[in-house]
Amino acid sequence: MKVVIQRVSSASVTIDEKVVAHIQKGLLVLVGIEDSDTQEDSNWLVGKITNLRIFGDENQVMNLSVRDIDGDIIVVSQFTLHASTKKGNRPSYIKASKPEIAIPLYENFVKRLEIELGKKVQTGVFGADMKVLLLNDGPVTIQIDSKNRE
């Protein structure tokens, strides 16, 4: 699984001109799933995301997690995170999972985040044409790949 985590002052997801998710201070998490991803990958990422110390403390040092600040999270499925640009100019998405594999893992990922965060996690709609609006705070943007645990 690949995620792009963005620290936000606010974020929202709109589908067909209707806002389906909106948060203030917290994280926007874009998640891409491939066929080889497992529940173990998902669980590891949930632990990383909820404990990642990227929010400022009283001295403006990044020492606090989204959980520490009682922040919110929006999760958006993003198959394009698995784009391969190795050949030509048109990305290939062959590594991205098909919905029958990705949806259950995505839904469980969201549920695990809710358990770890102790509150509802907002989401886009898997496979929908979404408009994502965010005010990136910092900016702070971090990429994590569960297959490359550095």
Question: What are the CB-based long-range contacts (under 8 Å, 24+) for 113-118?
Answer: 113/29, 113/46, 113/49, 113/50, 113/73, 113/75, 116/46, 116/47, 116/50, 116/67, 117/50, 117/66, 117/67, 117/73, 118/67
Residue from 80, 85, 123, 141 carrying the catalytic annotation: 80
**80 carries an active-site annotation:** yes
Please list the active-site residues.
Answer: 80
